[in-house]
Structure 1
Amino acid sequence: MLSSSMRRVGAPLYMRHLAASFSVATGSGRKVALSPSEFRSFKVSEVETLTHNTKRLRLGLPSKDHETGLDVASFLLAQANINGENLMRPYTPTNLSEEKGYLELVVKGYPTGKVSKHIVELNVGDSLQIKGPMPKFKYEANMYKKVGLVAGGSGLTPCLQVAKKICRDNSDKTEVVMIFANQTEEDIILRDEIDAMQRKYPQFKVHYVLSQPGPSWKGFTGHVTKDMLHKLLPRPSDDHLIGVCGPPGMMEAVSGGKAPDYTQGELKGILKALGFTSKQVFKF
């Protein structure tokens, strides 16, 4: 997550550095709608309320043949002018580039989050400024035997992007397990979609964790723990990758946060205690 000061000053330099290392395949006949070097305006075509503070928005691309051009794993920047100030926030789309004609974002509106609050208040016909893609890492089929994903709240989106990419590629035999932590059952965003993926793809398994479960909840409860991750995740191996994304407290406990310069930083927390190395863990 970018600090408010970085959104205003440091982010442009940081994002230009990322964009310079990322190539969009426009010369292959693909119609790519996004640009990593400039913000472009896209209109909201659909808005769906997922939870009390989370919405799914679809932004229309110039035509049904256009795609986002976002490889997995990558993200984009959304920009909003709020009280005369241009603020940016990174988001990970929940649709893959081959799903053409639209860009889909799942956004949780935070009371103190100026950009997220702006986005969840958008209506059909409103526009949003988007720039990207910006790379996280380049995933290729079968580069790992197993992938474990630990997501908390809206940190689901990059984890879901990776899981979709693996499962929808018939040549990719990678096994994927995802641990998805939330407060209440009502907070589980995109649950129907995730459950449908689990039914359709035998290589994909999800475990839900609730810190405030209702009386009928039969899944895992409490916070993500060392015993839980030891039981559910693949064992430490260079053939395995663990991806982590969630609120700061969860990140600190599971893997440690990113460095001040937004690089991966030192591996800490539960994953280090379980024997994983920094090479085997990626912090989204």
Structure 2
Amino acid sequence: MVHSDWGDWLPTAVESATPAGVAVWYLGCNGFVLKGEGGTTLFVDPYLGTGDPPRTIRMIPVPFDPRDVQEADAVLATHEHTDHVHGPSQAPILAETGAAFYAPDDSLAVARGEEAWDDRYAVSTDQYEEVAEGDAFEVGEFTVHVEPAHDPDATHPVSYVFEHDAGTIFHGGDTKPSEEFERLGREYDIDLGILAFGSVGAIPDKQTREPKRTRWYNDENQVVRAASDLRFDRFLPSHWDMWKGLTADPKALHHHVRSFEFPQRLELAEIGDRVDVTGE
């Protein structure tokens, strides 16, 4: 059961919004909501859990109860890790709204196998949609392209490119720089790009619980390299706020991006914040 620190104001704000283009809310961790001007609403990697203390300790509020979400057309997962595929966070959204769940094979294996969303949360089998690199599909007013990601800690990660009449949004999951990104930067005109950013910290090992030097997300130089290769107009760093020992200061990225042609602008958001893509 998820217990929200903020009540239902955030899902209510999403449902009542009438964006001119696409509104994007940052849910903390690597979670986002995209809502188009026609009302299509997409959730990407929403995670409302508290981690596995004392190994992984959530440092930010739980922004909503998934049962308070009444409008969603799709939930998308970038890879199989717990903070990207999580039954208590995502399955109630699917059960309440009838939204489709788009995810690569190993992510679906967690949802349908290890976590048994079908049985525990009354998720229907026809709500699952397997995706792979090279796929493209329509969800309402969005065209979604499934592209490669480079996350050595995941078994099958993907990134998503969301095309809308108002602009194009990239979500890389927990990807590090990839040889594919220069190609993607040429193929897509990315108005807003999202990449995971964090520090290196001593995190208890999963088996031994002894502190272990851990790098799960891009450091300053890695994340700017990826953003530059992808030719972002606006770059929104994510995940920097989440885990004790791996948090970082995204304001420091101003020093790293300013000599590069891309990204053209650093877009900083805290949990609950909204940014807009309007095509202007």
Same fold, judged at TM 0.5 (above)? no
TM-score, normalised by the number of residues in structure 1: 0.33
Structure 2-normalised TM-score?
0.33
Structure with the bigger percentage of strand: 1
Which has the higher relative contact order, 1 or 2, with Cα contacts under 8 A spaced 6 or more apart? Answer: 2
